[in-house]
Chain A
Amino acid sequence: MIHSLFLINHSGDIFLEKHWKSVIGRSVCDYFFEAKEKAVQPENVPPVLQTPHHYLISVYRDKLFFLSVVQTEVPPLFVIEFLHRVADTVQDYFGECSEGVIKDNVVTVYELLEEMLDNGFPLATESNVLKEMIRPPTILRSVVNTLTGGSNVGDTLPTGQLSSIPWRRAGVKYTNNEAYFDVIEEIDAILDKSGTTVFAEIQGVIEACVRLTGMPDLTLSFMNPRLLDDMSFHPCVRFKRWESERILSFIPPDGNFTLMTYHVSSQNVVALPVYVKQNISFLETGSCGRLDITIGPKQTMGKTVEGLTVTVHMPKTVLSANLTATQGNYTYNLATKVLVWDIGKLNPQKLPNLRGSLSLQAGAPRPEENPALDITLKIQQLAISGLKVSRLDMYGEKYKPFKGVKYLTKAGKFQVRT
């Protein structure tokens, strides 16, 4: 299936290659570079390309291209999903996925790739299984290893791979047993010029961090499971139990994982935490424009809106911005033409406002379209859909774990058209 993998950085250097079958020369990447050249923006490179003898399937993550070469028919999503898993694994092992980190840990990365595929077919992609075979580096261990000549490759064998619960390591032990669940909801919305909602929906995800000894069997139930419309589960979740009782029953992986993602039923009206009043205009003459943005709280359920930012991708002809913000700071990047206004906490008594003038390239025609505003925000201790976890129980182990649930609402793809 997957024949080879090339890791390519932003400027087009191949800095790692791995072949699972016979070696394919680097020249195959030339077709990709050609497409990259044409696309201008890296995001615009088509994920699937055809060359005379091969097919190139790539993903762009963290400013790196993961380019795989395949020779025969294969579901493209199969490869794409796998490439993202590779990036996730690197992220998981080293804390970040970047060229530097991969170069520093090139042998470990190579060993991981070796374990993840056999003859191009995924073999071990579960983080728990991989970590049993190849230990992630820690500062302490690397010091010890240099002194003793020890290695990162586990001498225990990956028993998880054989069991029917491959996601959990065997023999897990903790002195402090704890299970944390973060319910994170994102609001995707498009608002039009007048502030009317064109489209809004809520997507949620439950991220878990479980550090429990032995083989705990957990159940998690909700006060209002009816809110959930469509979801996907980590393989550990017993689907049948959910179907019949609307209870999440599972033996968790060890460590961090995504328990489920969900979509909130579209019947419910989505509460938008903020409203935006804006006026951006470009004058017909004089090569200048005006900008005036005010943000105010709408339905915040009594919580504070934090981490508020507004990002504006200005038309190319906008040379500079001369603005005043009543709260927070703004920056205008001349090269990328991106205006970022970092507001911070939203104070309902004194609404933040940004206003001033924009100067345009002389002689250039007035921009056709006003730029859209992208909003980000955070509200702690609130799931905007109203979803609530009712209880978490543990079976199969005797000790009493520490349990915690946290809620967070964020703006997802929240865009205001102007």
Chain B
Amino acid sequence: SSILRPTILSVLRNEDLKEMLESNKESLKLEAMKRVVGLIAKGKNASELFPAVVKNVANKNIELKKLVYVYLVRYAEEQQDLALLSISTFQRALKDPNQFIRASALRVLSSIRVPIIVPIMMLAIKESAADMSPYVRKTSAHAIQKLYSLDPDQKEQLIEVIEKLLKDKSTLVAGSVVMAFEEVCPDRIDLIHKNYRKLCNLLVDVEEWGQVVIISMLTRYARTQFISPWKEGAMFDENNEKAFYDSESEEKKDQMEAKTYIMDPDHRLLLRNTKPLLQSRNTAVVMSVAQLYWHLAPKHEVTIVTKSLVRLLRSHREVQYIVLQNIATMSIQRKGMFEPFMKSFYVRSTDSTHIKTLKLEILTNLANEANISTILREFQTYVKSQDKAFAAATIQAIGRCATNISEVTDTCLNGLVLLLSNRDETVVAESVVVIKKLLQTQPTQHSEIIKHMAKLFDNITVPMARASILWLMGEYCERVPKIAPDVLRKMAKTFTAEEDIVKLQIVNLAAKLYLTNSKQTKLLTQYILNLGKYDQNYDIRDRTRFIRQLIVPSEKSGALNKYARRILLAPKPAPVLESAFKDRDRYQLGTLSHSLNTKASGYQELSDWPAVAPDQSVRNVEVIEPVRNLPSSPTSYHRYNSYMPDSTSGSESEEESSEESEKTSSDSGKSSSGSEQESSSESESQQKKKKKTKKAPQKKSKPAAADRYSEIPPVRWTLRASFFFPVNLACPDVTTPSFGPVKTYELLHHMTGKGLSAKYHFPRQPCLYQPSMVAVQVVLTNSSDHSLEEIHIGDRNPASLNLHCFNTIERLEPEASVTVSMGIDFSDSTQAANFQLCTKDDQFSVSIQPAVGELFMPITMTEQDFSKEQGKLLGMNETSETIAMATANTSSQAISKQVLSVANVGVVSSTQNDIHRFAGRTVSSGALVLVSLEMKESSSALLTINTEKSVMASMLLRDLKQALAQA
């Protein structure tokens, strides 16, 4: 039982949370949601609460709503059917006059990873990409990437949206759309041409994260569009010299051609406009500018990035790590760039090991004849470091300095030899290995060192070091003719106790001595070969066998024997000691691939410069941009300086505002007054928005603020929407469904259903599957003691019944329940929909009979429109009756509540206190249904229903009469 307890507790807790979520108190709901999000943050599963949570999606409390969004995005993928219920809330919010509400709706909608809503997302993205608010457009750029990862088949359509958004002039949008471009279609360089200059000019004012993405993309772009500023420059110098000596006119001609390298003005524009960003506080921005200069700037200009990169070394450890990696790559090719800052790479004992190693790498790269003595002195300190891995790396570095700078080779070698008497084994071993490599480069002069090493041999235990010494003995055995055989003698004694790599070198040494000095070593060699023959390691046995055949002449050995000496004692090329960062710049600097030195997935290659520049005119923009025409340098910082409001409000045309920003230039006084105006108009519009919500939606007499946002005429909307969507649903006049008390009906009792019980209710939301369907939500519960399998919908009656089934439920555990949604086309009649609810073994006939009120969809209308429409539906189409009202129902609030509980219609705001109006459409045919209630004296009222569906009218009248009479 003790094992069970935690699960019981968590179940209880979930139950509690569910109760809290379903309570009427906001504070309880909020508390519950906070706990749920707390669970998610801890990585605990809270998916069971989905139905309870999703009900609160339309809640007014912003924090609660946001938490519900967080939950929804997290679990929508697992609970697709239920998640669909929330979609309509977001669809409505997408048309909200407030740009933040639109943006957040799009953000959540596009984060719900449910494939069925792909068309809805596509539509929403297209609409939002044309939104007046740059913030909404920015959000739509983010949504593009989400949709693309959900359904890559949408690529072509999404590219169209990207193309459109790339034209956007807002700095808010630029970074996000380029990010979308990079994820969806990084190869479509052609989309950039026309926007190239604009992006360059906007760059300083884009937010810092966007800058990084844009700079990286433009680096790639530039490498495909401009010719190299490097080679030509080099040729230029060469030719100059030639010309001095050579007076032939033909040569001069060539030279003239070579000289004609002029940097494309667009190339220059990019370099100029990125330069100020080196002063950014964001290290990623600085790095991205540095890599841009590295890959695009003429060689002599690259040095301007040095100081900024060195500055980054003051930043966090992780930043240092990445920056040092990049400096390491750069410093191999361009020592000069960092040499003046050499001391900034001095190692502190408190640096972490990988930082130390990178600094060491850079110092080694920077070493030259002039500074080597300083560097070696510094290295001497490092060799003594307590961090032995670092000390070993330093020895490697000394070795590299020794091979690269011939002046110090001897000094280094002597220094290393001194280290051979070091107390620490790793240091000694590393020294031996490095000395071995160094000796190979110039063996003639160093028999003394080899002798010294032979003396030390007994004290060295690290296998790699022992193997290295043995190899040296063998290779140069003729220089130490007396010592080598003696070493071999010692090794013969310890052979069996040595490590494998040492054994291999013993065999090697024996073979070489046998060839050069067989007199003294013949027997020893045979002894060792015999030991090797029976070694446990097959590598050693193989090698022994091979060596024996090679060196000992016998009948079988054949021709090879003659060449044994030439094979074993061939002069060997000296190993090259080089940096691990050599050629790392095959990867674009600053990238993940560069950091890892392997190609990361999604890495975009940087192409080589084209030999001939592609057409430059592709970047010309037809409409003459003011930005482009003004003389280059100051314009690009204009906005940066003047903080021109970046067309924040939708009403202003963007062209206008960008032009304005050019005009105002750096006049700060003027601009700040400009931004004041901006904020005041913003607050004004908010006030108007508030007014509007109080007034409730009115179509014609919309306040000015709403006009600013309703940029798309409804007609166009309808046409476009109809591709995916029911006209009457997507039409903007469909309003918030009336959230009255939800009535639940029984579909199947658990006694009849052999344990399976089903209940249904009408969620009163537009049905996603088909426009003419009514959405029905069914809760299936397994009350039996065994699990039920394959729950699905079987035959239906009438057979023509248009029904959208829920997906088959593979398995429902005992006591578990699941909520599914279906759509039923009732064809505007209250005739029951009969169908069979099946499990694997049983079939149950069930029927859903809708109340007439559920067959409507609410719509918004103004009072004037209402009267106008009412005027068209007179005579046959009008049903009215004077009814008695319960006294409790006389307030307008109570009336609305009662009416909405009966019928899914929308409230029409009224200027008259005694007349209440409601409007809706029938779901299937879209016929208008207008309800008006005129209050009379002594709690009676005239109820009038105008609709061409007269049967429905009379049924609705009956239901309403009953409801209003009840207290």
Contact = CB atoms under 8 A, between A and B. Distances in A.
Asked if A and B bind, the verdict is: yes
A350 B765 CA distance: 85
B322 A77 contact: yes
Interface stretch (A155-163, A173-181, A299-307, A402-410): A155-163
A162 B675 CA distance: 12
Interface string A30-47: 000000000001011011
Interface residues of B, number: 117
A386 to B, nearest CB: 20
B442 to A, nearest CB: 30
Contacts of A47: 317-318, 321-322
Contact of A81 (B27, B284, B601, B669): B284
Interface string B57-90: 0000111101100100010010000000000000
B113 A22 contact: yes
Interface in A42-64: 43-44, 46-48, 50, 55, 58-61
Interface stretch (B33-41, B262-270, B513-521, B785-793): B33-41
Given A21-B149, A121-B142, A162-B134, A15 B643 contact: no
Interface of A: 1, 14-19, 21-23, 26, 41, 43-44, 46-48, 50, 55, 58-61, 70-78, 80-84, 106-107, 109-111, 114, 118-119, 121-123, 125, 148-149, 151-155, 157-159, 161-166, 170-171, 190, 192, 198-199, 201, 203, 215, 217, 229-235, 238-241, 243, 249, 251, 258, 261, 263, 313, 315-316, 365-369, 371-372, 374, 395-396, 413, 415, 417
Interface stretch (B208-216, B431-439, B716-724): B208-216
Interface string B362-385: 000000000000000010010011
Contact of A164 (B41, B66, B423, B646): B646
B348 A368 contact: no
Given A14-B43, A73-B593, 14 more contacts: A19-B74, A71-B602, A75-B284, A76-B322, A81-B283, A107-B41, A111-B70, A153-B66, A154-B62, A162-B135, A199-B343, A232-B308, A233-B280, A368-B423
A272 to B, nearest CB: 15
Interface stretch (B171-179, B230-238, B927-935): B171-179
A339 to B, nearest CB: 14
B98 A239 contact: no
B678 interface: yes
B343 A215 contact: no
Contact of B349 (A84, A233, A313, A366): A313
Nearest to A77: B284
A110 B283 contact: no
A17 B38 CA distance: 10
Given A163-B645, A163-B678, A55 B284 contact: no
B308 A230 contact: yes
Interface in B608-646: 634, 637, 639-641, 643-646
B242 interface: no
A198 B590 CA distance: 31
Contact of B209 (A59, A125, A152, A395): A125
Interface in B96-150: 98-100, 107, 110-111, 113, 133-135, 139, 142-143, 145-146, 149
29 contacts: A16-B41, A17-B42, A44-B353, A47-B318, A48-B596, A60-B318, A70-B592, A72-B602, A73-B602, A74-B592, A80-B283, A107-B41, A110-B40, A153-B66, A157-B100, A162-B99, A162-B134, A163-B645, A215-B672, A230-B307, A230-B310, A232-B281, A232-B311, A235-B208, A240-B276, A313-B349, A315-B386, A371-B349, A372-B349
Given A159-B679, A163-B648, A163-B678, A395 B669 contact: yes
A239 B637 contact: yes
Given A17-B43, A121-B142, A240-B640, A159 B176 contact: no
A40 B682 CA distance: 55
Contacts of B353: 44
B319 A80 contact: yes
Nearest to B43: A17
B959 interface: no
Contacts of A239: 204, 276, 279, 637, 640-641
Tell me the dominant secondary structure on chain A's binding face.
Answer: mixed
B282 interface: yes
A1 B149 CA distance: 12
B864 interface: no
Contacts of B146: 21, 119
B316 interface: yes
B30 interface: yes
A47 to B, nearest CB: 4
Contacts of A153: 62-63, 66
Contact of A119 (B37, B134, B145, B676): B145
B600 interface: yes
A22 B76 CA distance: 10
A241 B279 contact: no
B286 interface: yes
A84 B320 CA distance: 13
B240 interface: no
Contact of B142 (A59, A118, A235, A249): A118
A107 B310 CA distance: 39
A368 B287 contact: no
Contacts of A107: 34, 37-38, 41, 67
A73 B318 contact: no
A22 B591 CA distance: 24
Contacts of A367: 386
A47 B316 CA distance: 11
Nearest to A18: B41
Contacts of A71: 601-602
Interface centre among A46, A232, A251, by most chain B C-beta atoms within 10 angstroms, is A232
A122 B346 contact: no
A73 B354 contact: no
B111 to A, nearest CB: 7
A73 to B, nearest CB: 4
Contacts of B77: 22-23
Nearest to A43: B352
A43 B37 CA distance: 32
Interface in B670-686: 672, 675-676, 678-679, 682
A84 B204 CA distance: 23
B438 to A, nearest CB: 23
B668 A81 contact: no
Given A22-B113, A106-B38, A119-B111, A233 B216 contact: no
B26 interface: yes
Contacts of B100: 157-158
Nearest to A17: B43
A163 B646 contact: yes
B107 A78 contact: no
B190 interface: no
Contacts of B307: 229-230, 263
Nearest to A15: B42
A26 B107 contact: no
B604 interface: yes
B672 A251 contact: yes
Contacts of B134: 162
Contacts of B424: 368
A165 B675 CA distance: 9
A184 to B, nearest CB: 13
A119 B281 contact: no
B592 A48 contact: yes
Contacts of B643: 164-165, 251
A83 B319 CA distance: 11
B887 interface: no
A413 B111 contact: no
A369 B386 contact: yes
Contacts of A263: 307, 311
Nearest to A200: B343
Contacts of A231: 279
A106 B283 contact: no
B849 interface: no
B350 interface: yes
